[in-house]
Structure 1
Amino acid sequence: MVQDRHIIETLGKVRVVIENGEITEVGESEMKYCPMFHAMHKVDELNEEFIRKNINFRIKDFGMCTPERVIEMDDLVTVGISEILKTNIEKGNIDCVVGACDGAGTLLMTNPRVVQGVGGRVSGLVSTTPIPEVIEKLKQKDCIILNEETAELNQLEGLKIALDKGYKNIAITILPSPMVEEIRNYPVGDDVNVYIFVAHTTGASPDEVEMLFENADIVTACASKAISEYADANRPYYYGVKVPIFCASEDGRRFLDIRLDHIGKPLTTNEYPRDKSDAPHKLL
């Protein structure tokens, strides 16, 4: 029997282990404050008590890392990666998303509500194990699972499947890693576009951040000091003050502006210096 064990990084790169629907381990975080959670929940300190409460809420509310996992959702925030992808799928600009889901691993999605449901409230997925009920629900929504037996996380292999299936406008969500560059350099046809969306960047090194901006299309700021410093020096287009979303390419800016226009918000800007009055007290 496969062990039920899921590892995520969340709330300031805290490592959280969930087994059989229960939190079994909570790591340490150097970040004690997050402007998003302060605004949404009036939380002044990201301590272990709050982290456990938050993760338990996700487990109970939408079944994260359990067989009760909800896989379809409506918009959760004004602008996040899943919201950007959802809108651009609906408008026909993206026809496939290579993402990752707890209990399933890397998967291909074409349903905008599934893209939102899978990615909307889950933090960085480090590893996961198969949950048959989750995999079956995803397959019923026409998702393709990279490896149903192991729930492997491998976005490059997911890209290869998307290419084999004939998709032409492929978005990939991924955490900071050397695989971002591998995906960008992977040979695809002249009629294929690959768009890279990088999330959960807290703790990324300056060299890693430079690589991300050279290869990705959208990069979220999270609580990354290196991304904040890179942005101030290179002035990319962005949206948001508390937790900005940065455009690493013109395609990224196009996708973000399409989402912003869809919800009636001001479009991206590159006005610097940025307002960082409510940035995390201690960026990582």
Structure 2
Amino acid sequence: MPMSENDQDTHIIEAVGRSKIVIKDGKVTEVSGSRIRHCPLAKKFALPVDDITPDAVRANIEHRMESWGMCRSHRSVCGRAEFVGFGASELIGSGLSSKSLDAAVLACDGAGTVIATSPELVQGIGGRMSGLVSTSPLKDEMDRIEQNGGFILDRTTAKVDQVLGVSRASAQGFRTIAVTVASADDAVSIRKDHPDAFIFGVHLSGISEEDAARIISVSDIVTACASKWIWELAGPRALVQAGTAVPVFALTPQGKRLILEKIERTDRPVLITGSKLPSYGPEVPQPLI
């Protein structure tokens, strides 16, 4: 169903411990309280969030909108700068560079579900993006995505549908397809219909124990975020843990290989050591939810 005129420029995202942020007509109109107080990753944002309050979250989101155009028509869609060593976009981009992946299905503000085929487009879309709940189509942005080799699932509505996105990528002839998912239902459906898909669970803070178990059972990599259940259930099953503050857990040989490929390609120093997992660093999100 087409959106009403009042919904033509509305974007809803979740960030920094599941704060709900509503952006309308290029302005932040709503920020709900976060479920966590501190996050070591948020302290490293371009505009750091030390104490997680609605005012601090608002300032951070407005900084993203001003600096690279999030939820605005002039949004940057390509990038090379890496913001975390083992984030979803960094790992998937590395996989595209090494040719172990040939497409990625991502969620992008202003475009909805996107099929990306270059590391630069993956990093530009996902490097600084938070959890996208829903979005409105921004024509100029979608044009730039397509000009840079991307495919938009639905230009009319900019809907977010990762299940359909993987099916579309498969129909277009892509074979090694990575997809970011925040829903256990989506992850299970994708694994059933596309057994060879590379599933990357993201934005999992606050997920229930049942859904955490379900998404872990079908994912190749999951991000711990501030999820008590991802830490407790994915950690002991992981083949590799990358990071200790807000880590990712590789749950399959394919997930492990993607992390090792990223290590091979990086110039950053990396510590590798055997350990019982999960390994908690001196700082983790507080509280885990």
Q: TM-score range by the shorter chain?
A: over 0.9
Partner of 1:226: 229
**Given the alignment of the two structures, is residue 61 of structure 1 paired with residue 64 of structure 2, yes or no?**
no
Partner of 1:217: 220
Residue type of the alignment partner of 1:76? F
> In 2, are the aligned partners of 1:176 and 1:200 still within 8 Å (CA)?
no
C-alpha displacement at 1:46, in angstroms?
Answer: 0.4
The residue matched to 2:28 in structure 1 has which SS? strand
**Given the alignment of the two structures, is residue 12 of structure 1 paired with residue 17 of structure 2, yes or no?**
yes
Counterpart pick for 2:39 among 29, 34, 39? 34
Counterpart pick for 1:254 among 252, 257, 279? 257
Partner of 1:157: 164
C-alpha displacement at 1:269, in angstroms?
Answer: 5.3
C-alpha displacement at 1:187, in angstroms?
Answer: 4.8
Counterpart pick for 2:136 among 129, 132, 157? 129
> What whole-Å deviation, never above 9, does each CA across 1:170-197 have from its counterpart, x for those lacking one?
1111113311100000056xxxx31011
C-alpha displacement at 1:231, in angstroms?
Answer: 3.6
**Given the alignment of the two structures, is residue 207 of structure 1 paired with residue 199 of structure 2, yes or no?**
no
C-alpha displacement at 1:104, in angstroms?
Answer: 0.6
Q: Spell out the pairing of 1:1-284 with structure 2 (5 A cutoff).
A: 1=5, 3-39=8-44, 43-74=49-80, 75-187=82-194, 193-264=196-267, 265-267=270-272, 270-272=275-277, 274-284=279-289
C-alpha displacement at 1:233, in angstroms?
Answer: 4.3
TM-score (norm 2): 0.92
Structure 2's unaligned 5+ residue stretches are: none
Q: Percent of pairs identical after alignment? A: 34
Residue type of the alignment partner of 1:82? S
Task: Classify 1:20/1:212 alpha carbon distance in 2 versus 1 (closer, same or farther; 3 Å).
Answer: same
Q: Which whole-Å CA distance do the structure 1 matches of 2:44 and 2:25 have between them?
A: 31
C-alpha displacement at 1:271, in angstroms?
Answer: 2.9
Task: Classify 1:180/1:268 alpha carbon distance in 2 versus 1 (closer, same or farther; 3 Å).
Answer: farther
> What whole-Å deviation, never above 9, does each CA across 1:9-57 have from its counterpart, x for those lacking one?
0000011001111001101212011012235566431001110110001
Residue type of the alignment partner of 2:228? K
> In 2, are the aligned partners of 1:237 and 1:270 still within 8 Å (CA)?
no
Task: Classify 1:196/1:269 alpha carbon distance in 2 versus 1 (closer, same or farther; 3 Å).
Answer: farther
TM-score (norm 1): 0.93
The residue matched to 2:222 in structure 1 has which SS? strand
> In 1, are the aligned partners of 2:49 and 2:60 still within 8 Å (CA)?
no
Structure 1's unaligned 5+ residue stretches are: none
C-alpha displacement at 1:108, in angstroms?
Answer: 0.7
> In 2, are the aligned partners of 1:67 and 1:131 still within 8 Å (CA)?
yes
Task: Classify 1:269/1:63 alpha carbon distance in 2 versus 1 (closer, same or farther; 3 Å).
Answer: farther
> In 1, are the aligned partners of 2:226 and 2:286 still within 8 Å (CA)?
no
Q: Which whole-Å CA distance do the structure 1 matches of 2:250 and 2:222 have between them?
A: 6
Task: Classify 1:69/1:233 alpha carbon distance in 2 versus 1 (closer, same or farther; 3 Å).
Answer: same
Q: Which whole-Å CA distance do the structure 2 matches of 1:131 and 1:108 have between them?
A: 16
C-alpha displacement at 1:236, in angstroms?
Answer: 4.2
Task: Classify 1:270/1:235 alpha carbon distance in 2 versus 1 (closer, same or farther; 3 Å).
Answer: farther
> In 2, are the aligned partners of 1:260 and 1:266 still within 8 Å (CA)?
no
> In 2, are the aligned partners of 1:260 and 1:267 still within 8 Å (CA)?
no
Q: Which whole-Å CA distance do the structure 2 matches of 1:42 and 1:68 have between them?
A: 24
Q: Which whole-Å CA distance do the structure 1 matches of 2:152 and 2:273 have between them?
A: 34
Aligned length: 280
Q: Which whole-Å CA distance do the structure 2 matches of 1:49 and 1:39 have between them?
A: 17
> What whole-Å deviation, never above 9, does each CA across 1:91-129 have from its counterpart, x for those lacking one?
111001111111110111101100000011110000001
